[in-house]
């Protein structure tokens, strides 16, 4: 069972803006890119939407399996709920997550594996998966650098006041003062990341040439050589990081320990006029506290591409709050990233069907407990509470 986002409203693309993708050999830490035995799609094509089918149909049907692909994922009348009874594997992407709650897992007696075609398995009730012995896997690193690029774009667009200035042009205006009254240089600012994992460390590296002062908060400290190379200040609490930073970027997974880590109380630690960038998960932040901090001026700007739930209802306050630079969840699903996570999903499926071990770096839950990358970066429990709200988007769209 594969849950994917809808095709473009103009239909599945027949041609693309570019002809090829750069060829990457390895990720920055030496990890190899996915190594499936085969590929039945052209690199750089749209794979994450329903017609793209993650390029899996030929492979799965050649092995005698049935592939059901749908975008209908929320509410009791969804295709996902209707098919769960027969599903052995559920695949979805964080951009359009199949929320695999305990209730849904209970409705799927044959379910053996839940795969994230991407990174982040918080849309699955990990506790319920552990209790049922279901494997949870994701394609670690496939889009970490894609997200880091998006973070950089959002930091610059907020600090330089890009979006309102772009809108001046679109609207036929030329009021320079309107554009620059909230525009600053990034140079010299203190910039901090919550978590220095694959994305967080890449963000720090990309920021280095801007001559900013770099900070990070992480449970595990980076090697001394990296701290020296990037001239990093390590913090052991959000309070200590937020007090000194002009820009804070969130790059940790969502799990019970990090849920709502940014709330009305912790926002008080931030410098007045700080920028907060969140491409990690919407639920790391208290939704209303963010909107209020922008209205009061405690935050000068908030940008990111992650929401809770997804899709966000039309009346979600982050669509209309002041000084935001939100996009729908796109940072990790560039065409470049899609090729990598489609390959990675195929690799995971090949391992599963051939009874070969799935790479440790792709495992979140296995054999009833957190495993692989999951044991390092997640905590046990459930962060899917409230996800049924996603059905409101569909209800609104139909009205
Ligand atoms: P990594 O596993 O490489 O890094 C996660 C880091 O978060 C680890 O260094 C981990 O630290 C740290 N961490 C976990 N809990 C805490 C905590 N309580 N406080 C501080 N740090 C913590 O993952 P990635 O960097 O590749 O991805 C990070 C997250 O970004 C994903 O889980 C996902 O939610 C999100 N993401 C978003 C995408 C998008 O499209 N917008 C795409 C890809 C990812 P430790 O060393 O202690 O384990």
| Residue 138 in contact with ligand 1 by CB distance below 6 A | no
Is it the case that residue 216 has pLDDT exceeding 60? yes
| Residue 370 in contact with ligand 1 by CB distance below 6 A | no
Confidence of residue 376 (pLDDT cuts 50, 70, 90): confident
- Ligand 1 centroid – CA 193 distance (Å): 11
| SS3 (DSSP) at 274 | strand
Atom of ligand 1 nearest to the CA of 279: 41
- Ligand 1 centroid – CA 377 distance (Å): 7
What pLDDT score does 399 carry? 40
Bridging pattern class, strands 135-138 and 363-366 = antiparallel
- Ligand 1 centroid – CA 279 distance (Å): 10
Give the span between the Cα atoms of 165 and 301, in whole angstroms: 15
DSSP one-letter string for 304-350: ES--SSSSPPTT-GGGTSTTEEE--S-TT-SHHHHHHHHHHHHHHHH
| Residue 248 in contact with ligand 1 by CB distance below 6 A | no
* Residue ID of nearest Cα to ligand 1 atom 19: 218
**pLDDT single digits (tens) 121-140:** 999 999 999 999 999 999 99
What pLDDT score does 398 carry? 44
DSSP 8-state class, residue 360: G
Atom of ligand 1 nearest to the CA of 199: 25
* Residue ID of nearest Cα to ligand 1 atom 46: 220
Is it the case that residue 397 has pLDDT exceeding 90? no
Give the span between the Cα atoms of 367 and 350, in whole angstroms: 19
| Residue 197 in contact with ligand 1 by CB distance below 6 A | yes
Give the angle subtended at the CA of 131 by the CAs of 127 and 136, to the nearest 5°: 65
| SS3 (DSSP) at 114 | strand
Region 78-100 average pLDDT: 97
Compute the Cα dihedral for 204, 209, 210, 212 and give only its sign.
Answer: positive
Reported pTM: 0.96
Q: How many other C-beta atoms lie within 10 A of the C-beta of residue 197?
A: 21
Structure tokens at 360: 């440790």
Interacting residues of 176 by C-beta distance below 8 A, sequence separation 6+: none
| Residue 199 in contact with ligand 1 by CB distance below 6 A | yes
- Which structural domains are found in the chain, ordered by start? 2-142+333-398 (3.40.50.720), 144-319 (3.40.50.720)
| Residue 144 in contact with ligand 1 by CB distance below 6 A | yes
**pLDDT single digits (tens) 149-208:** 999 999 999 999 999 999 999 999 999 999 999 999 999 999 999 999 999 999 999 999
Give the span between the Cα atoms of 1 and 63, in whole angstroms: 15
Looking at every residue in the chain, the average pLDDT score rounds to: 96
Mutate to test the pocket of ligand 1, among 119, 205, 381 (most ligand atoms within 8 A of CB): 119
| SS3 (DSSP) at 364 | strand
Give the span between the Cα atoms of 32 and 60, in whole angstroms: 24
Give the span between the Cα atoms of 203 and 208, in whole angstroms: 9
Residues labelled catalytic:
143, 281, 310, 329
Short-list 279, 325, 277, 272, CA closest to 300 = 272
What pLDDT score does 379 carry? 86
Give the span between the Cα atoms of 279 and 319, in whole angstroms: 15
SS (HEC) of 43-94: CCCCCCECCCHHHCHHHHHHCCCCCCEECCCCCCCCHHHHHHHHCCEEEEEC
**pLDDT single digits (tens) 266-283:** 999 999 999 999 999 999
In the chain the first and final C-alpha atoms are separated, in Å, by 28
What pLDDT score does 394 carry? 57
Is it the case that residue 384 has pLDDT exceeding 60? yes
Structure tokens at 391: 């059905």
Give the angle subtended at the CA of 196 by the CAs of 280 and 189, to the nearest 5°: 90
Q: Are 292 and 264 in contact (CB under 8 A)?
A: yes
In terms of Cβ atoms closer than 10 Å to its own Cβ (0-12, 13-18, 19+), residue 39 is middle
Strands (E), the chain: 2-3, 69-70, 89-92, 113-116, 135-138, 190-194, 213-217, 232-235, 247-250, 274-278, 299-304, 324-326, 363-366, 369-370
| Residue 249 in contact with ligand 1 by CB distance below 6 A | no
Structure tokens at 326: 């939100």
Short-list 108, 84, 105, 102, CA closest to 3 = 84
């Amino acid at each position: 069972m594969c849950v994917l986002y809808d095709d473009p409203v103009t239909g599945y693309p027949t041609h693309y803006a570019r002809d090829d993708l750069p060829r990457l050999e390895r990720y920055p830490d030496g990890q190899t890119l996915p190594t499936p035995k085969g590929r039945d799609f052209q690199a750089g094509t749209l794979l994450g939407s329903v017609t793209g089918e993650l390029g899996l149909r030929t492979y799965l049907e050649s092995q005698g399996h049935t592939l059901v692909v749908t975008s209908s994922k929320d509410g009791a009348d969804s295709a996902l709920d209707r098919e769960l009874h027969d599903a052995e594997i559920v695949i979805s992407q964080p951009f359009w997550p199949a929320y695999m709650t305990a209730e849904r897992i209970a409705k799927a007696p044959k379910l053996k594996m839940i795969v994230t075609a991407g990174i982040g398995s918080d849309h699955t009730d990990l506790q319920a998966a552990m209790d049922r012995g279901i494997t949870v896997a994701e394609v670690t690193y496939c889009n970490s650098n894609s997200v880091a690029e998006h973070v950089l774009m959002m930091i610059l667009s907020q600090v330089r006041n890009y979006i309102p200035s772009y809108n001046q042009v679109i609207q036929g205006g030329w009021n320079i003062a309107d554009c620059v009254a909230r525009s600053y240089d990034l140079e010299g600012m203190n910039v901090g990341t919550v978590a220095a994992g694959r994305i967080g460390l890449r963000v720090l590296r990309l920021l280095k040439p801007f001559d900013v002062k770099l900070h990070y908060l992480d449970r595990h400290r980076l090697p001394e050589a990296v701290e020296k190379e990037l001239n990093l200040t390590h913090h052991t609490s959000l309070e200590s990081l937020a007090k000194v930073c002009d820009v804070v970027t969130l790059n940790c997974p969502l799990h019970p320990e990090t849920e709502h880590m940014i709330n009305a109380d912790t926002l008080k630690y931030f410098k007045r006029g700080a920028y907060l960038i969140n491409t990690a998960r919407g639920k790391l932040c208290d939704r209303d506290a963010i909107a209020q901090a922008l209205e009061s001026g405690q935050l000068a700007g908030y940008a990111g591409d992650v929401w809770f739930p997804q899709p966000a209802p039309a009346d979600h306050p982050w669509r209309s709050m002041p000084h935001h630079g939100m996009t729908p969840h796109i940072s990790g699903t560039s065409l470049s990233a899609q090729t990598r996570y489609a390959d990675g999903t195929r690799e995971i499926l090949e391992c599963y069907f051939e009874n070969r071990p799935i790479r440790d770096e792709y495992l979140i839950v296995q054999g009833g407990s957190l495993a692989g990358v999951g044991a390092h970066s997640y905590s046990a429990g459930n962060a899917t509470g409230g996800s049924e709200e996603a059905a409101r988007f569909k209800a609104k769209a139909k009205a």
